[in-house]
Amino acid sequence: MKNNKVILALLCLILTNITFGQDVAFKVLVNKGKNEVKSKEGWVPIKTGSSLKSDDELKVSDNSYVGLVHISGKPLEVKDAGKYKIVDLASKVSGGTSVLNKYTDFILSSNNQKKNNLAATGAVSRGGKDIRINLPKPEFSVVLNNTVTFSWETENTVGPYTVLFSSMFGDELKKIETSTNSVTIDLSDASFANEDNIRVNIKSKGGSITKSADNDYALKRLSKADVNRIKPEFNEVKSALSDETPLNKVLLAGFYEKNNLLVDAITAYQEAMKLAPDTQDIKTQYNDFLIRNGIKPPPIK
């Protein structure tokens, strides 16, 4: 048994090296500011998705930020301005898990898709003339975690807003008044006890209401069978990303999206943007996520 574990660990390391490339130490998952990387060709602007090799050098400008993922799967944030040798940054990394590399590659490959290439999870515009909630179609609105954060967009409509949660039979479960365009709820709250399917609607002070193609938004608890199926890997990922950082939230969003937990992915992106409100790269990644999953219509060309 012990020998099998050693062999498995070696195989994971070999596969990780193949995925990242023999000389690659990090991949750039989040970038804010005019940061640069120095390779044999000289200094060039760094971009999200870039690979940093061991003999490269990173230059972080003032008030900037770089979110990296090491070849071992360990995330690393670089916030302080200055120059860093990649080999020195790599020496600070330990205790990573290679499972995160799968989600790093998934996020980067997804972000490289054409913006109008909507996924099969509802490649239609759900927008109306009033309020559009950034939630997927009901059949894709399953939720793993209790904490749910989502936002909405409006056309010629202003708050305050009333967010109404009700049962599938129309019974009111909870009502929240807010002047912002987002809300956070806890599904472990007594208001949602014994409710596996929760309808969501929003009304503005001016009378505008939610509009969608099917005129319905919902939150659905993930079945126990699916929870048990996904829990082992989820616990591994969650343990590796225990720190409350924007980079970790983006990685969690990748895990959720790849496992079709779109509502949890939305929550993770919302938390990342709250932790780093001035990081445009995260906002862009979130917007691309909404478009490719058919939650938000692509921009009109």
List, as one string, the DSSP characters of 158-215: ---EEEEEE-TTS-EEEEEEESSSEEEEETTSGGGTT-SEEEEEEEETTS-BB--TTS
* Domain limits, the chain: 2-98
Contact in structure between 267 and 148 (CB atoms under 8 Å):
yes
User: Which residues contact residue 232 at a Cβ distance below 8 angstroms, ignoring those fewer than 6 apart?
Assistant: none
Distance between CA 201 and CA 195 in Å, rounded?
A: 16
pLDDT for res 209: 66
pLDDT at position 211 is 56
- H/E element holding 234? helix 224-240
Residue 225 dihedral angles phi and psi, to the nearest 5°? -65, -45
Q: Are 267 and 150 in contact (CB under 8 A)?
A: yes
Quickly count: other Cβ atoms within 10 Å of residue 166's Cβ: 17
Under a CB-based contact definition with an 8 Å cutoff, are residues 219 and 140 in contact?
no
Q: What is the dihedral of CA 74, 79, 80, 86, to 10 degrees?
A: 40
Ramachandran quadrant class, 193 (left: phi over 0; alpha: psi -120 to 50; beta: rest): beta
Q: What pTM does this model have?
A: 0.85
Taking alpha carbons only, the member of 85, 40, 80 closest to residue 58 is 85
Alpha helices in 32-120 (DSSP H): 86-91, 99-111
Q: List the pLDDT tens digit at each of the 301 positions of the chain.
A: 545 544 444 444 444 444 444 588 999 999 999 999 998 778 999 999 999 999 999 999 999 999 999 988 889 999 999 999 999 999 988 766 677 888 888 888 887 764 444 444 443 444 444 788 999 999 999 999 999 999 998 877 777 899 999 998 999 999 999 999 999 999 999 999 889 999 999 988 766 666 544 457 999 999 999 999 999 999 999 988 989 999 999 999 999 999 999 999 999 999 999 999 999 999 999 999 999 999 999 887 6
- CA dist 152 and 170 (Å) reads 21
Q: Which run of H or of E encompasses 233? A: helix 224-240
242: tokens are 């225990």
Neighbours of 42 (CB within 10 A): 8
As beta bridge partners, residue 77 has 67
Q: Which two tokens stand for residue 299?
A: 């921009």
